[in-house]
Amino acid sequence: MKRRAHPPSFAPLFAVALAVALVASAPVHGADDPVSAAMKLYEKRRYEQAARMLEDARLEAERRPQAQLVLGMIYLRNADLHEALGRTAAAAEIDYLDKLLKTRTEDRSRYARLHLAEALLARGNSAEARRHFEQVRSDPGIEKRYQAIAGVGLGSVLWAQRDANGARGMWAGTGGAAEIALARAAAQGGAQLAAAKSLQRVADEATRAPELSPRSRRYLIEIYTATGAPDKALAVARAGDLGMASYVESFKAVKGTAKSINLYDLALLTDLTRLYRELARRQLEQAAADARMKPSAEYYLAEVLNDLGSRDEASTYVEAFLARAQTPVQYRERARVRQALIAHRQGRRVEAESAWTAMAESGSDPEVLADIVLGCAEAQAQCSKVLARVGQVTEAGDGRRYQRLNFALGSYYLRKKDYARAISYMEAGRDKSNKNKIEANDPEMLAGLAEAYYRTKKFSEGLEIFFEMSKEFPVVRQIQEAMQGVYSMEQRSAGDVKIL
């Protein structure tokens, strides 16, 4: 479950310390105050601009904890967004790469298989990934270095399949060219098999190259994030165009136009998600060192740590938050929802679902209900009583206040593959006047809606969403290209055009 602060209601609702500090600081610092300005950008979902504003701000020592808290929140939401984008990207890219492999033309893509293997690995399907990596390694039409990279990928598959010796053997057997060394270091970093310093040395060495390929850039992000150097990872991410193809496969034209295919790394989205979570954790931990920021920071830390898989730590922070007096009721409820999610992930499913049901039946706050539904979605729980209750509330409610609840219900049904219902709820919550604008509609919701449209073959609706989103988040280019590719193959139309 991802708890999202609803921008218009955020400040008054929560963060005793944060709200007090922000409000109190406003008259003193005025409109140019970087923390206030960053909050405004955050509310408009301009996460990158908001983060940079605070990173670059020269603040008095007294205000730094507040900035750290806000920065932590910004990174956290950015991580959630990239995770959502990763899910949507996986749907489109795996389909697209699979279709490319099945193409029966003479000029069939060879490199689609490598990218498909990597995409499957990134999404945790190691069995299928293995099959493709093995085929790439034995394909004489593939450049040697990419065969070697497939070998590294195969090592990661073996590691995921708990064959540590096989993985080590595979990684040891790969060659030494710079990109291959980076691939290996990234894989070993992910497996926590090598010392952080030695991995960072490999990465530092690579950054001295006059130009970095998108693939190398992605490995660097992965290495630096895994070895506790998220600042360096962030610098690498910002130095390049995240919308660039990882590989452009060009074909010679026998006659006419030469064909080219842009192939992307799906893992980039996974890596960025991890990176932003690590950055969020660090900022929030720093903010928590300040007594005034501690309650707010702990609230968010519980979320970050849960998402990073540190359940026990997350649980400790939730309990600490709940133990405090004078925390806003709504946020106490939301912390309890998260507590149940952590319990669910720790295997206490019945306890978690009972807690959600009880909260849903006794409450009517749409924000809390939305958290519960998102928890159910993330835990892949049935939550039938919760849904029955929430359905009633949503039916009766109206307007912006229920936007997030509709989004939560849409997300639930999206995960259940009930795409028609997912669309129905998300469309109900979508601000139609600015349907693709991220200021008016949570980009996470838009990403989910685009996926539902994609799954129901309403490709143009999905593409339209990402076209607008690409202006703020260039990384969605990979989703656009994949959706375009599938669309071009799947569409069945006569070739008509009319005056509107």
Partner 1 sequence: MKRILTITVLSLGVAMASCFPAHAAPKGDGRPDGGVLNYSEYGRPATLDPITSNETISLRITELVFNGLVGIDEKQEIVPELAERWEASKDGRVFTFFLRKDVKWHPREGEAARPFTADDVVFTYNIMMHPKTITPLKVRYEFIEKVEKTGDYTVVITLKRPILNALAKFSFKIIPRHGPSNPQYLTREDRFAHSPIGTGPYMLQTVTGDGEVVLVANPDYFKGRAHIDKFIARPFADQNIMAQALMFNAIDMIVLVNPRNLPEVQGDKRFVLQPYNALSYSFFGYNVRNPLLADRRLRQAITAAVNRQEMLDSFFNGQGTVISGPFAPGSWAYNLDIKPLPFAPERARALLTEAGFRPGADGIMEKDGKKLVLSLKVPIEKESEAVKRVVLAFQNYLKSVGIAITVEFKEWQAWKEDVFLEHNFDIMFASWVFDDSADISSLFHSAEIGDWKNNFGGYSNPEVDSLIVESKLTLDFEKRRTINRKLHAILAEEQPYAFLWTLTNYSAYHRKVRRVQIHPYKFFSFADEWFIPASEQK
* Contact residue for partner 1 among 92, 121, 261, 318 (CB under 8 A): 261
Question: How far are the Cα atoms of 229, 302, 310 from residue 314, in angstroms, in the given order?
Answer: 22, 4, 6
User: Closest approach of Cβ 107 to partner 1, in Å?
Assistant: 7
- Pull the structure tokens for residue 115: 């990218």
Q: How far is the CB of 153 from partner 1 (least distance, A)?
A: 24
For residue 425, the minimal CB distance to partner 1 (Å) is 13
Determine the interface stretch with partner 1 among 3-11, 101-109, 320-328, 334-342 (rule: CB under 8 A).
Answer: 101-109
Of 51, 55, 52, whose CA–CA distance to 74 is shortest? Answer: 51
Could you tell me how many residues make up the chain? 500
Going by C-alpha positions, the residue among 77, 74, 11, 4 that lies closest to residue 283 is: 74
x-or-dash string of contact with partner 1, 405-444, rule CB under 8 A:
----------------------x---xxxxxxx-------
Spatial separation of the C-alpha atoms in residues 243 and 481, rounded to whole Å: 10
**Any contact of residue 49 with partner 1 (CB under 8 A)?**
no
Q: Return the residues of window 381-410 that contact partner 1 according to CB under 8 A.
A: 398-399
Distance from C-alpha of 375 to C-alpha of 412, rounded to nearest angstrom: 9
Instruction: Pick the stretch among 67-75, 122-130, 295-303, 453-461 that binds partner 1 (CB under 8 A).
Output: 453-461
SS3 244: coil
Rounded CA-CA distance 279/479 in Å is 25
Q: If binding is defined by CB under 8 A, does position 463 make contact with partner 1?
A: yes
Considering only 126, 315, 403, 480, the residue that binds partner 1 (CB under 8 A) is: 480
Q: How far is the CB of 441 from partner 1 (least distance, A)?
A: 12
- Residue 57 identity: A
**Facing residues of 262 across strands?**
248
Q: In whole angstroms, give the CA distance from residue 307 to residue 3.
A: 11
Q: Which residues are bridge partners to 260 per DSSP? A: 250
Whether the CB-CB separation of 276 and 78 falls below 8 Å is answered with yes
Q: And the tokens for 305?
A: 């740590």
Closer residue to partner 1 (CB): 31 or 500? 500
Minimum distance from residue 483 beta carbon to partner 1 (Å): 8
Among 12, 24, 103, 350, binds partner 1 (CB under 8 A): 103
The yes or no reply on residue 496 touching partner 1 (CB under 8 A) is: yes
403, 408, 424, 480 from 428: Cα distances, Å:
8, 12, 6, 24
In the complex with partner 1, the residue whose CB is nearer, 261 or 355, is 261
Compute the least distance from the CB of residue 235 to partner 1, in Å.
26
Q: Segment contacting partner 1 (CB under 8 A): 57-65, 127-135, 167-175, 476-484?
A: 476-484
Q: Which is nearer to partner 1, 162 or 498 (CB)?
A: 498
Helix (H, G, I), strand (E, B) or coil at 311: helix
Site string for partner 1, 327-356 (x = CB under 8 A): ------------------------------
CA–CA distances in Å: residue 128 to residues 113, 119, 470: 11, 10, 31
Cα 393 to Cα 181: distance, rounded to the nearest angstrom: 55
Distance of CA 420 to the CA centre of its chain: 24
Instruction: State yes or no: residue 485 binds partner 1 (CB under 8 A).
Output: yes
CB of 450 to partner 1, least distance (A): 11
Is 298 buried (19+), middle (13-18) or exposed (0-12) by CB count in 10 A?
Answer: buried
Q: Which is nearer to partner 1, 197 or 492 (CB)?
A: 492
Q: Which is nearer to partner 1, 204 or 427 (CB)?
A: 427
Q: Select the residue interacting with partner 1 from 140, 259, 443, 454 (CB under 8 A).
A: 259
- Among the residue ranges 5-13, 74-82, 97-105, 211-219, the one whose residues contact partner 1 (CB under 8 A): 97-105
Confirm or reject binding of residue 32 to partner 1 (CB under 8 A): no
Q: Which two tokens stand for residue 124?
A: 């945790």
CA atoms of 111 and 181, how far apart (whole Å):
20
**In the complex, least distance from residue 242 CB atom to partner 1, rounded to whole angstroms:** 14
CB of 433 to partner 1, least distance (A): 5
Residues that bind partner 1 (CB under 8 A): 100, 103, 105, 107, 109, 256-261, 398-399, 427, 431-437, 456-461, 463-464, 467-468, 470, 477, 480-481, 483-485, 487-500
